[in-house]
Structure 1
Amino acid sequence: MTGVVLAGGQSRRFGRNKALEALHGERLLDRAIRGLKPWCRTCLVVANDLLPYVAAEATLVRDVMPNQGPLGGILTALLFSPTPWVLVKATDMPFLVPAVVERMAQMRPGSDVVVPLRNGFHEPLFALYHIRCLPLIAALLERGEKQIVRFYTGIRVARLEEDLWRPLDPDGLTFQNINTLDEFQRIL
C-alpha cells in the first residue's frame, strides 16, 4: 500500500504550519512519513503548497482540486498512488501504534475502506482507501460536498470497532491530533 500524509490544512487554530513543528526534534511531517514507512513502499505528501515540504523523504503531490479539504487530498492520493490501497494519515496526528495498522491491513479483503471508530465516530483521517473509491469521491467533490464520510454509504466499509483497537492502543494515541498550540505544548 501507499502511505499518504495529508499536509494541506490551513492550521488556522494553531497559528502557523503544524507540519513544520518539531516534536522531540522531528517535524510532524517527517514523523508521519517515518511512521508509515514500515507498511508502505511509497509515501506521498499531498498539499496545496509543496514548497515547505521539499526536504521531505516522500513524493510531493499537489492537490488536483485545491482547497477541497481532506477529501480532495484523498482523491489526489488515489490518483497518484502506485498501489490500489492508500493508508491516509493527517500530518497533525503524531503517534501511530503499529498493531492498529496491522489490524486494519488485515481487514482489507472485501472492503473499499477500512476506518477505525472512536467514541462511535469514524476516524477518516487515519484510514485505508482503495482506488475503487475514486469515482464516488470525485462525484461528491463535483457536487461541492467535502465531508469524507458522505461517500461511505456507497461502498464496502470495514469498521475497526473501538473494542478491537483499544486493547492494541489503550490510550488512543494513534488518533490523537493537534489542533492548537496549547494541545501541542501538552504533548511535548
Structure 2
Amino acid sequence: MSKHKKHTNLERRNSDNFAPNEIAILGTNCTIISDLVHKVSEKLSNYKLAYFDASHAKSINCARDDSNYVLSEYTFHHKGNVQITTSGYVNVYQQRLDFAQYDYVFINGNHYQGAKQILILDEAKEASVLKRLEQLDSIQFIIKLKKETEFFSFLVEKYPKIKNKICYTIDQVDKISMHINNLIQEKIAPIKGLVLVGGKSTRMGTDKSELSYYGKPQKEFAKELLENSNLETFYSVEKVINNEDEISDKFLNLGPFGGICSAFQKDPNSAWLVLATDVPFINDEIIQQLLKHRNPSKVATAIKGKNKEFVEPLISIYEPKAYPILLQYLAQGYSCPRKMLINSDVEIVEIDDDFIRNINTKEEFEMAKKEIHNRL
C-alpha cells in the first residue's frame, strides 16, 4: 500500500539539526567551550556566527541531561555580543528560522547534539564523553587540552580511525579558526541565473523581453550574459510552456518579487543572480564585477548607481538566507524586493548610472538601440 501524502513535497533548504551549518563542541566544561567559541569568533568576524548554548543560570544544572526544556541562550558573536534568552521547549523548526541568517552556528555539545562535532579531549571529562559516545558520528577534528593526552580506549574501540583525525591543542586558535573557515567555505551556495520575463510592459506597449538591441530578443541576450559566467540560467515566467529552462510563478500577481520567491521554491539551496530585461546596457564586465564582489555572508550582493539613492533589486545576487526574509516581508503585506534589500544587510557594488538605465518607453527603446548600435 502506498503511503498517503497530505502535503505538497516542497524542496527544502539543506539544514543540520538546528541551523544550515553547525558544529557541536563537546568533551570539556562549558566555560572552556564558550571561551574557545569567543576566540574563534573574533578571528572569523567577517562571518555571521552564533553560539547556541543552554542557560547557565543558577537554577539550571549545567550537567543536566534533560536539555529539551531549558532556558536557551543564543549568543551572537559578530562585531559585538548580543544575548537573547527565551524559555520553553527547544523547537528545531523555530531554531532553523532563528539561525537561517547565520553562516555558522557553534553548539555547546554538552547540551545539544550537533550534526557535526569538534571533540575536546579533557582527561577530567572522560565519563562525559563516554556518555555522549553515540553523538560523535561526524567528528571534524580533535582538540587536546594537553598535548600528551591520550585517546580514551572506548573512543578508539568505537571509532578505530579516530587517531587519523586532524588534532590541535587548545592554544592553536589560529589553526582551529582556519579549519573552521574551510568548513564554512565548503557550504557556500552555488549561484544560478534568473532572467525576469513576462512583465506587463504597460508603458512600452509590448513585451520588453522580446525587444531586440543586439539582433536577438533581449531575454536571450540576458540569458547568454549569465551563461557566459558559467551560471545555469532560467527564465522566470508567468506560465511554463514545457521548457526545462523556465520557472513559472508560484507566487501569483507579485511581479519580480514572486519570480524571485518562485526560483527559491525551486531551489532554496542556491543563490540566484537576478537580471531584468529592461537594462540593456548591462554587460559581461558588470556581471563579472557583481560576481567578484559577492558576499555570501550578506543577504544579497546588489548593484547601485553611484548617484542613485537605492540599490537595483533586479541586478542582484540573492543568497539562500534571503528567501525566509522575503517571505517575512510578504507576510507583512510587502512585495517589493527593493524594500527588503534596503532594510537588510546587503553588499553594495557601485557602478556608473549609465549602465543601469531602465528602458520603459518606445522612445527610450529607439534611443537606446541607436546608442548600442553606435558602440558596436
TM-score > 0.5 by shorter chain: yes
Considering Cα pairs closer than 8 Å and 6+ residues apart, tell me whether 1 or 2 has the greater RCO. Answer: 1
Q: CA RMSD in A?
A: 2.2
Q: CA deviation at 1:154?
A: 5.9
Tell me, yes or no, if the aligned pair for 1:8 and 1:47 is still in contact at 8 Å.
yes
Q: Which residue of 1 aligns with 2:128?
A: none
CA 5–155 in structure 1, closer or farther in 2 if over 3 Å, else same: same
Amino acid across the alignment from 2:345: R
Matched, 1:62 2:251: no
The residue aligned with 1:179 is 360
Match of 1:84 among 233, 245, 270: 270
Runs of 4 or more above 3 Å deviation: none
Within a 5 Å distance, the mapping from 1:1-188 to structure 2 comes to 1-51=191-241, 59-81=245-267, 84-109=270-295, 110-118=297-305, 119-152=308-341, 155-161=344-350, 165-166=351-352, 172-173=354-355, 175-188=356-369
* CA contact 2:313–2:341 (8 Å) conserved in 1: no
Check 1:82–1:140 CA distance in 2 against 1; reply closer, same or farther (3 A cut): closer
Report the count of equivalent residues.
176
**Cα shift readout 1:61-99 (whole Å, capped 9, x = no counterpart):** 111111101111111122224862211001222232323
Counterpart CA distance in 1 for 2:341 and 2:278 is 23
The alpha-carbon deviation at position 41 of structure 1 amounts to 3.0
User: Matched residues in 1 for 2:268 and 2:227: separation?
Assistant: 15
How high is the TM-score relative to the length of structure 1?
Answer: 0.83
Q: Quote how far apart the aligned CAs of 1:133 are.
A: 0.6
Give me the whole-angstrom Cα distance separating, in 1, the residues matched to 2:322 and 2:333. Answer: 17
1:124/1:44 CA distance change after superposition, 3 Å: same
Q: SS in structure 2 opposite 1:44?
A: strand
TM-score of the superposed pair, with normalisation by structure 2: 0.43
- Cα distance in 1 between the residues matched to 2:362 and 2:240: 23
The answer for unaligned runs of 5 or more in structure 2 is 1-190, 370-376
Could you tell me which amino acid in structure 2 is paired with residue 157 of structure 1? Answer: V
* In 2: Cα distance, 1:155 partner to 1:24 partner: 36
> Which structure would you say has the larger Rg?
2
Maintained 8 Å contact 1:2/1:85: yes
Secondary structure of the 1:131 match is: coil
Contact 1:50–1:62 at 8 Å: present in 2 too? yes
Q: Give the percent of matched residue pairs that are identical in Structure 1 and Structure 2.
A: 26
Q: Deviations over 1:102-129 (max 9, x none)?
A: 2222222322201122222211110111
